[in-house]
Every structure is written in structure tokens, then in C-alpha cells.
Amino acid sequence: MTDTEVAPAVPVGIPKPTNGSRRRAWIVTALLVVFMMINFADKSVLGLAADQIREDLGLSAAAFGLANSAFFLLFSVCGAAVGLLADRIRPKWLLLAMAVLWSVSQAPLAVGGGFAVLIASRVLLGAAEGPAFPVAQQATLSWFPNHRRNLPGALIVLGVTLGVLVAAPVLTWVIHHHGWRSAVAVVALAGVVWALLWIPFGGEGPYAAASDKGSPASAGPGDGTGTGEGAGAGTGTGPARHRTPYRRILATRTWIGATTAYFGTYWVIAFALVWLPSYLHDGLGYSSAASTRLLMLFWGLSGVVVLGQAGLTGWLLRRGIASRWARGRVGGILLLIGAAACLALPSAPAGAASVVLLVAGFGLAGAMGSVAATTVAELVPADRRGGALGIMNAVVTIAGLIAPTLIGRLVDTHGAGGYPYAVLITGGVLLLSGTAAVTLIDPDRDARLLSA
């Protein structure tokens, strides 16, 4: 494949999509957007109720940061393990199990308990949510060919933004009127409702077991209805193919670049979910109402950037532009602009300038989640997609383990003056991430190396 070629719209062995399969594809995508919304509403509860939880349980900033980092203790491990399982077990059932476990894990915290229950609940919730993003992306992308994946992939990432945009005003109201434990109960109930809808409507699509490079994967093609065994079921009747070792995939510059770039995005997400409400209120002096509006502005910009990136990337790919430009450069440049904004923020005067830099620095980083997932899906064979995405997610979410505790220690040590240090560190992380995306990502080159 040359730099100007793109993958065929319909790989060999895949039936032409019908109106019914297209409609089903978007129903599944919509359900998975809601799935990610609930996922990030779960994560945002503690950040939105930070002051109330710390006062209720008598926690220091470092202890509160530790409780949030505990969420990521098993998050990465389970993300990798279930990602590998997704190459062998239908993602439909893995996603259902995750949603049920989310609700179960939050029930004890909703009814009572202290710091120990908080830690245990977050560890179990993190274990259940760790595989959510890679498996949701795998299930969604199984309904679309490579050159049509940017929008659905971006919509899954948009679920992150929408989850917080919806959660911020709703859960803030619940917290103020009924307490933070009631907010935990609300998001737990939302997981149960989603699971009941996913059972009849969820499934995998006709591209679940198809290679983007035009050859059928070893698992055999799906039936196009979303009810077959899907990717990695291992029941294909066609001739066996050599399965690319994961070590070769993980050694490619594209996988390394996409993972490093996505690490920066997740660092920003962890900062925003756990400490951004407190930073706005305590560090920058905004009222609770103004802080909520700024949070919604930040997450809203993030959503616009995700959709804009998807539209631009899809437009470039359809015109024959190589993925290293359409995905790697576009995502990397957004990260670099965010890095510049974060590095400038601590020295900016209070007011409009600091708000613009804050929103830009944090809001532009979100698009890399979609870029990383679609890039890895393009790079690897279909029968290795779940594992490659899961391992990437496991590495990336280490940022969620480090950032909340580090920022909490900075706040304990320097008070409100710790936030500027945290923002500068974030700028440095984004600078490294953006550089990796721009210099390393090239799926066409590395796909050729893997097929050699």
C-alpha cells in the first residue's frame, strides 16, 4: 500500500451492507455512546462531590487523591486481560458483564461506609470499567469499514464528554439536595437500565472478523446481523492463518506512538475528573455555579474537537491522504496546541485569558482517544484487535493511577499554589504525547512490516 492509498470500503468476504444492517449499526453505536456516558458519570461523581466527601469522611487532599487513584489499581490490568478475551469471547457479553458489575460495585458506597468502603468500591469499579473503552470501540468499529470508522469511533469518545456534560448539572443538583451517596445510587441505577437495553439490542457487526487490508481473518466473517460469534470466536471454517504475535504489534512505532499520545489525553481526563472542579473553585476563585459552567464549557469544547477531528480525518482519508497525516498529525498537533496552552496558563493574568488557556489546554486533548483507537484498529489484524486495544488502554490508564495522587500531594504541600505546578506537569506530558503522535504514527508503514 502506498502513502496515498486507503483501505477498501468492503473487505473481501464481507456482504454488502443493507439498510437493516446500517440501521442496526447506528443503534448499537448509540447504545455504546450511552455506555461511555454512564462510564464517565461514574468516574465524575467523586470530583463533583469532592468537598462534601472530604468533609464527610474527614479526608486530606492526598487521601482523597489516593481514593481516586485506587480506581485505577486494577483498571489497567483488567483492561488488558479483558481486551485479550475480547478476541475470543463476544464483546456483547463482556460489555453486559461490565455494566452489571459497575452497579454492583457502587451499591455498598451508596448505602453507607467510610474510607475503607470508598477505596474498595472504587477498586472494584475500576476493575469493571477498565476494559470499557477498548471493548466498546471494538464492538462499534465491527460495524464499519476502515474509511467509515472515524465518526463512530469519535462518537464513542464523545460519550466521555456527554457523560460529564449530563452528569455535571444533574449530579451536582442531586449532591446538593440529596447528598453525594444519592448521586452514587443514581449512576449505579443507570448501569442497570443500560444492561437491560443492551441484552436485546447489542451485538457485533459484519466487520468483526474481517481484515482491513482485504483478507478475511482467521475467525471467519460475521453474519452482518450482530448476532454471530464475532471477532476472535475461533470458529471460522476457512483456512487457518498465521496469527501475528502481540510482541510484534506492540513493538511497532505506530502502536507506541498512539499509546504515548493517548497517555497524554488520559492524564488530562484524570486531572479534569478528579481535580478540575476544585482547581476552578479553590485555585482560581470561581463560585460553584461558575465552576460548573466552566466545566461544561471545557467538556463541550472537547466534544466539538472530537467531532471536528473525526470529520477532518475522514475527509482527508477519503481523498487519499495517508493515515500518518490524517490521524497522526491531526491528533498530534491538537495535543501540541494543548501543551502550549497549559505551559502558558500559570503565568497568564486572571480572567478571560486564563479561562481561554484552561479550556484550550484541556479541551483539545480529547480527540486523541478516537485517533488512537482507529489507528490501532487500522494497523492490526482483526483477530488481534481486541488485545491490541486492551493493552494500549492498560498502559494509557496508568496516567489515571498517577495523576490524582500526584496532584493531591501537590495541593497538600502547597495549598492552592499546587495547582499551577500540576498544570505545568500536564503541559509537559502533552508536549511529549503530541511529539510522539507526530513523529511515530504511520499505520500503512507498520501494517506492511507486520504482514511481511
Instruction: Give the pLDDT confidence of 295-338 residue by residue, as tens digits.
Output: 888 888 888 998 999 999 999 999 999 999 999 999 999 999 99
Which residues of the chain are modeled with pLDDT < 50?
Answer: 1-12, 211-240
For residues 24 and 144, the answer to whether their CB atoms sit within 8 Å is no
CA distance 60 to 65: 9
Report CA-CA distances (Å) from 162 to 34, 36, 168, 249, 300.
Answer: 9, 9, 10, 32, 8
Residue 113 falls in which region: left (phi positive, over 0), alpha (psi -120 to 50) or beta: left
pLDDT of residue 6: 39
The predicted pLDDT at position 216 comes to 34
Supply the pLDDT for residue 100.
96
**What pLDDT is attached to residue 320?**
93
User: To 10 degrees, the CA torsion angle through 56, 61, 67, 71?
Assistant: 130
Q: Which of 342, 368, 350 is nearest to 259 (CA)?
A: 368
CATH: 3.20.20.60, 3.30.980.20, 3.40.50.970, 1.20.1250.20. Which one for 19-199+244-451?
Answer: 1.20.1250.20
Domain coordinates of the chain in residue numbers?
19-199+244-451
Among residues 325, 312, 361, the alpha carbon closest in space to that of 154 is found at: 312
What does the pLDDT read at residue 17? Answer: 63
Locate all alpha helices (DSSP H) within 319-417, ordered by sequence: 323, 330-344, 352-363, 368-379, 385-396, 398-414
Place of cell 462518537: 155
3-state secondary structure of 126: helix
Contacts of 231 (CB under 8 A, 6+ apart): 86, 87, 91, 138, 142, 204, 208, 209, 217, 219, 222, 382, 383, 385, 386
What is this structure's pTM? 0.73
The count of other CB atoms within 10 Å of the CB of residue 55 is 10
**pLDDT at residue 367, rounded to an integer:** 87
Q: Which tens digit of pLDDT belongs to each residue from 287-306?
A: 878 888 888 888 888 889 98
Q: Which of 131, 386, 375 is nearest to 253 (CA)?
A: 375
